[in-house]
Structure formats: structure tokens, C-alpha cells
């Protein structure tokens, strides 16, 4: 799984507003549909079905909603920071303010094994990002998270030309 190709800076959203986990999944489906040209209803149905199997809240304020999407040929992802933390029923009971969304085609079901590794990496990354982030600058926190998750260092949260890739919702 090549995360820099799956979660691109232009698919990063800050200040995403949703009152509940289920409404967040709807928002995620809408954003993914626009970004990846897939029907939002198909994405939402798959995300909800996966969430009903067990929570995608992995702890440390991070959720990793993921699902196989019919009609999607390559793995794609989004990175979101919610305007307020949401209860994703993580084992540590810490509400999630960051969501790493991973969507795979039906032909990429084998990628789910890699998702499990991403879960562990994201939890560790989340701990370090929060520990080193100063203040409540969402762009900086999300940039550091994206950089550590993907290894991409070119996009920066400050500066007009480079920050346009990260979108405020």
C-alpha cells in the first residue's frame, strides 16, 4: 500500500463538521464521491456496513473508516480533522478528531491486510503528532500527521501556494 498515492494533500480536509459518527460517515461519503467520482450512496452503504461489523475508532483520537467499494479500481483515501471530536467507540474511549479514510476496489480486498498495519502505524503517529504539535493549529497538526503517515514532505500548511491542497470544510 503506497499511502502517498492513496491519501493526497488535496484530499485533506480541516474543520469537518458532523454531530455524530454516522453523520460523519455521510460527510466522508460525500467528499469521497466528489474526489473519486463514485456514487456517495455506494460509499456510504459500504462504510456503514463496515462500521456495523466493529468500530473503526482505533484510539488516540483517530478513526480509520475503511471499506471495499464496488466500481473503485484503485485504493483511495481522505484525511479529515473534525471541528469537534466524535465518539467512534474506540477502546480507549477517546473521541476521534482525525479520520484516515481508506477505500478499496472489490479487486483490492487483499489490501485489507495492509490496512491493519496502517491502523497500528496511525495510532503511533497520532500519539507523536499530538505530543509534538504546538497549540491548536489544525493545519499544522494535520500536516504533521499526513507527513508522518505518507512520508510526503513537500506540501506545507503555511503559505498560500502550498496550503491550497489542504481544504477547510
The reply to whether 146 belongs to the active site is: no
Query: Which residues, at least 6 apart from 118, have a Cβ–Cβ distance to it below 8 Å?
Result: 1, 3, 64, 100, 102, 149
Residue 109, SS3?
coil
Query: Which residues, at least 6 apart from 75, have a Cβ–Cβ distance to it below 8 Å?
Result: 1, 6, 102, 103, 104, 105, 108, 111
- Of 66, 119, 132, 146, the active-site residue reads 66
Q: In DSSP terms, which residues pair with 167 in a beta bridge?
A: 13
Catalytic machinery residues: 66
Amino acid at each position: 500500500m503506497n499511502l502517498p498515492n492513496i491519501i493526497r494533500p488535496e484530499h485533506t480536509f480541516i474543520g469537518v463538521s458532523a454531530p455524530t459518527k454516522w453523520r460523519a460517515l455521510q460527510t466522508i461519503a460525500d467528499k469521497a464521491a466528489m474526489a473519486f467520482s463514485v456514487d456517495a450512496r455506494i460509499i456510504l452503504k459500504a462504510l456503514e456496513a463496515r462500521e456495523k461489523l466493529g468500530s473503526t475508532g482505533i484510539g488516540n483520537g483517530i478513526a480509520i473508516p475503511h471499506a471495499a467499494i464496488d466500481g473503485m479500481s484503485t485504493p483511495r483515501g481522505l484525511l479529515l480533522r473534525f471541528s469537534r471530536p466524535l465518539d467512534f467507540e474506540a477502546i480507549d474511549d477517546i473521541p476521534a478528531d482525525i479520520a484516515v479514510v481508506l477505500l478499496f476496489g472489490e479487486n483490492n480486498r487483499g489490501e485489507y491486510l495492509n490496512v491493519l498495519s496502517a491502523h497500528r502505524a496511525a495510532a503511533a503517529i497520532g500519539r507523536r503528532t499530538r505530543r509534538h504539535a504546538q497549540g491548536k493549529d489544525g493545519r499544522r497538526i494535520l500536516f504533521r500527521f499526513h507527513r508522518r503517515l505518507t512520508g510526503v514532505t513537500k506540501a506545507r500548511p503555511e503559505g498560500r501556494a502550498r496550503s491550497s491542497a489542504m481544504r477547510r470544510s
